[in-house]
Amino acid sequence: MSDLRAIHASGTGTNNTGKIAGAIIVALGVCAVALYGYHAGMWNASPREPVPYSDLPSTSLPVIDAPAKAPQR
């Protein structure tokens, strides 16, 4: 039976240089896309032409005649 306490990591150390370089490249890419979108006007919407009032749909309720008054006593 083997003793688990005797297991050691291999002699090669971990090297995270590739992961760090990849993260920096991705971050620069995201910044470049955001900067391009800002300068292209994607976030600055141009003002739209106003719609004439006559072309707007009617949102008011139909006019109903006032109810007749109750007879006086």
> Does a structural domain hold residue 71?
no
Round to whole Å and give the CA distance between 17 and 53.
63
Whole domain around residue 36: which residue ranges? Answer: 17-42
Residue type, 66: A
**Stated pTM of the model:** 0.43
Question: Does 69 score more than 70 pLDDT?
Answer: yes
Compute the half-sphere exposure of residue 67: CA atoms within 13 Å on the CB side of its CA. 3
Tokens of 51: 């719609």
Note the pLDDT of residue 57.
Answer: 63
The total domain count for the chain is 1
pLDDT digit string, tens, across residues 5-60: 666 666 566 789 999 999 999 999 999 999 998 888 776 666 677 766 665 566 66
Half-sphere exposure in the Cβ direction for 37 (13 Å, CA):
9
**Does residue 68 sit within a domain?**
no
In a domain, 28, yes or no: yes
User: What pLDDT is recorded for position 20?
Assistant: 94
Across the range 56-71, mean pLDDT stands at 65
